[in-house]
């Protein structure tokens, strides 16, 4: 490509191999740490925040005039919701849309547990207090916001609304998302932005089953409900636990595993054992995370 995708190669020719080696060691370290279910949430939080800092740090440098930190030279709002509404408005797929859909095919709902540059802040905000119980009627909120973003994009295009208004509305959607994180996620100790407001999260919940990874609850479960507060995505509640299957909002993050004294919550990938299936999901997801860390932004 005219502008190398691996960021370091934009500054040092043929240095991509060094970046690949370093990113591989970083990914291996994370997999090693996150194999321990009691450490998964801690290291996921740290690595996810690091990814977000790298993403927005490169964006800031690009805005300051350092063009090597920009991927295409065409700036767009780094707001997850626009991954859906942007292509609908333009009637054209974007790089971010293809990147997002590819992660769903490769690693299921991992976008919402390790790969979204906005989600890390929602996770951080929801982790600042004691875990609380699930949010009721969550799908009412999810479908409402998803339809708002889809219909808004269609109407803005159909009526050929002035681009300045479109930009202002896009910016407002991002600011409103930050407001939800700061106000509601911190109060509920749940990822309210990701699990109720973000249309990308809702789309992930719907299409994630194109990927063969699954999570289930085995017959050893005594329905003690201790896992419920640990699920930041609101996928565990009395109904889903009785059905022995996390809800559609489950992102396979694995935070809940530390709460189950009987190890009843398990990963599934075809006929592999639950332990191997979890290891495979960790390797796959963290590999994507490490790759994203090394790519140029925007």
The answer to whether residue 225 sits within a structural domain is yes
Distance of CA 183 to the CA centre of its chain: 20
The answer to whether residue 1 sits within a structural domain is no
The answer to whether residue 95 sits within a structural domain is yes
Return left, alpha or beta for 253; rule: phi > 0 is left, psi -120 to 50 is alpha, else beta: alpha
Indicate the pLDDT class of residue 74, thresholds 50, 70 and 90: low
66 pLDDT above the threshold of 80: yes
Domain of residue 105, residue span: 7-294
218 pLDDT above the threshold of 90: yes
Q: Number of structural domains, the chain?
A: 1
137 pLDDT above the threshold of 90: no
Which residues touch 172 (CB under 8 Å, ≥6 apart)?
A: none
Q: What is the pLDDT of residues 238-253, one digit of tens each?
A: 999 999 999 999 999 9
- CB atoms < 10 A from the CB of 173, how many? 22
Average pLDDT over the chain, rounded to an integer: 91
Q: What is the residue whose two structure tokens read 């910016």?
A: 171
Question: What CA dihedral angle connects 125, 130, 134 and 137, to 10 degrees?
Answer: -50
Lowest mean pLDDT across 74-88, 156-170, 206-220: 74-88
Distance of CA 153 to the CA centre of its chain: 22
The answer to whether residue 116 sits within a structural domain is yes
Indicate the pLDDT class of residue 14, thresholds 50, 70 and 90: confident
């Amino acid at each position: 490509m005219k502008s190398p995708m691996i960021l370091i190669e934009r500054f040092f020719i043929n240095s991509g191999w060094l970046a690949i080696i370093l990113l591989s060691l970083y990914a291996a370290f994370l997999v090693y740490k996150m194999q321990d279910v009691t450490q998964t949430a801690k290291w996921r939080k740290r690595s996810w925040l690091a990814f977000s800092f790298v993403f927005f740090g490169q964006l800031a440098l690009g805005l300051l005039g350092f063009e090597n930190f920009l991927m295409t030279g065409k700036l767009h709002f780094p707001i997850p919701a626009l991954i859906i509404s942007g292509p609908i408005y333009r009637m054209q797929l974007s790089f971010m849309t293809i990147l997002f859909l590819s992660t769903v095919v490769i690693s299921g709902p991992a976008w919402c547990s390790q790969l979204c540059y906005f989600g890390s802040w929602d996770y951080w905000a929801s982790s600042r207090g004691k875990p609380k119980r699930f949010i009721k009627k969550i799908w009412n909120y999810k479908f409402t916001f998803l339809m708002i973003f889809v219909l808004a994009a269609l109407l803005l295009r159909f009526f050929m609304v002035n681009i300045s208004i479109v930009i202002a509305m896009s910016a407002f959607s991002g600011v409103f998302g930050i407001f939800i994180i700061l106000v509601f996620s911190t109060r509920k100790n749940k990822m309210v932005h990701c699990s109720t407001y973000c249309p990308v999260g809702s789309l992930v919940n719907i299409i994630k089953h194109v990927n063969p990874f699954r999570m289930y609850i085995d017959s050893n479960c005594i329905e003690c409900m201790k896992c419920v507060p640990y699920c930041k995505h609101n996928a565990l509640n009395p109904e889903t636990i009785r059905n022995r299957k996390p809800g559609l909002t489950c992102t396979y993050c694995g935070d809940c595993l530390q709460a189950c004294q009987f190890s009843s919550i398990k990963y599934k990938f075809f006929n592999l054992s639950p332990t191997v299936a979890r290891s495979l999901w960790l390797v796959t997801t963290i590999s994507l995370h490490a790759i994203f860390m090394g790519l140029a932004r925007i």
